[in-house]
A = this chain, B = another copy of it.
């Protein structure tokens, strides 16, 4: 996508074909498309705006078509590969399939930016829905209606997203720092140990975290809208606009389903290293536990009470079991498909559903939890209790989505696992009820920025709603065609 009415240059990925007719695959080019003095499009190009979209209409996303368009050789972005004046292709990579990957790895910063935007969006969404839930009363005992937040179902629908908003924020704060330090060191020529490996690990982390965060926020938007009922459907609730503007993030900068395949590649490579008796290449330490895969896979569920589950140790060790099992399960399928004679691409394609895809999602949740925990353990002691609760709720609420794999992989055979895990989640929700409004107050932007009639910080929901209704232009006017629909007395 590129701005369709204003931009002068575009960064283009196109196939590089040298004079000898050889196609070297996708490479990056810097392509001038408009005269910077007049913004007129250069001959040989058709460039324009794509038209109205579901959201972000402030951006003029464009289309472009090339017809025998020439650009100078030096406009090839040549960090990973170049073409000499004589037309000879040169690359520092021995494996051609790595070249595109290396170029794409530079897109991490943009994806981290998307994750940060996602953190803001989910904070606004849960602030609106929780404030509404605390002030809106419906049903209950006659004469004494019950606030929505009192209903267990309502807590369960929303509090997991509040926890996600907090965990994602701490995760990103911590992870962005780690990332920026590596970039800084690398740029200053200071030398980072295992720079290539660190960049690959970061790419793997970003490639599954951007999907996790953007999808979770999209689900949160839907759940928050529904939790505010018909009022949530009003434009002045602002949930619709937040949702519509967030929506494309699951597609751009790498479609989530495609992007997360990058993570799977890296994870399987690390697993293969372990299988072959080598060390994993994990400078950030996110998968060093793989060396203990045999021990981890032998562990099983032994909790007898929900209290044993409501702690980081249980949550993280269960995640490690899940990751080990899913890596093995995915790898086995991929190998079986390769053994049938399929290409790498075909084999991978047939290992996505229930395997690769689940694996990368679980890895992203694990990363969020590990980096969040490290971060909250450094915060003020006063905040620690509520932050730990939110951490545990997010962990258990996320594990709930992987119960099938836990049963399938033999982590537990009894009915206790599902029963206790789910009981623990509901207990955490009840436990957080009195604190959750303060939590969203801490997350929310100012009322002006939140811009939602349902989510004002003063809690005067009904007054604000009434004001919004009354001040809507034309609210009290008859439709202009009213005379056409009544039987006139005249």
Contacts and interface: CB of A to CB of B under 8 A. Distances in A.
A235 B153 contact: no
A335 interface: no
Given A230-B248, A349-B153, A51 B235 contact: yes
B233 A251 contact: yes
A468 B418 CA distance: 51
Nearest to A488: B37
A161 to B, nearest CB: 15
Given A226-B251, A230-B252, A485-B6, A478 B39 contact: yes
A88 interface: no
B48 A141 contact: no
A184 B226 CA distance: 36
Interface stretch (A73-81, A175-183, A196-204, A400-408): A400-408
B235 A53 contact: yes
B475 A48 contact: yes
A455 to B, nearest CB: 16
Contacts of A225: 54, 247
Given A37-B487, A142-B25, A426-B353, A6 B479 contact: yes
Contacts of A61: 230
A349 B475 contact: no
Interface string A1-37: 1001110000000010000000101000000000011
A257 interface: yes
Given A39-B486, A357-B153, A407-B407, A236 B48 contact: no
A140 interface: yes
A152 B257 CA distance: 12
Given A468-B51, A475-B48, A233 B257 contact: no
29 contacts: A1-B230, A5-B477, A5-B479, A5-B482, A6-B479, A23-B143, A25-B142, A37-B489, A38-B486, A39-B485, A41-B476, A48-B472, A48-B475, A51-B234, A52-B234, A52-B235, A53-B235, A53-B240, A54-B225, A54-B234, A54-B240, A140-B345, A151-B349, A153-B353, A233-B248, A233-B251, A404-B404, A405-B418, A407-B418
Interface of A: 1, 4-6, 15, 23, 25, 36-41, 47-55, 60-61, 63, 139-143, 151-153, 156-157, 218, 222, 225-226, 229-230, 232-236, 240, 244, 247-248, 250-252, 255-258, 343, 345, 349-350, 352-354, 357, 403-405, 407-410, 413, 415, 417-419, 422, 426, 468-470, 472, 474-479, 482, 485-489
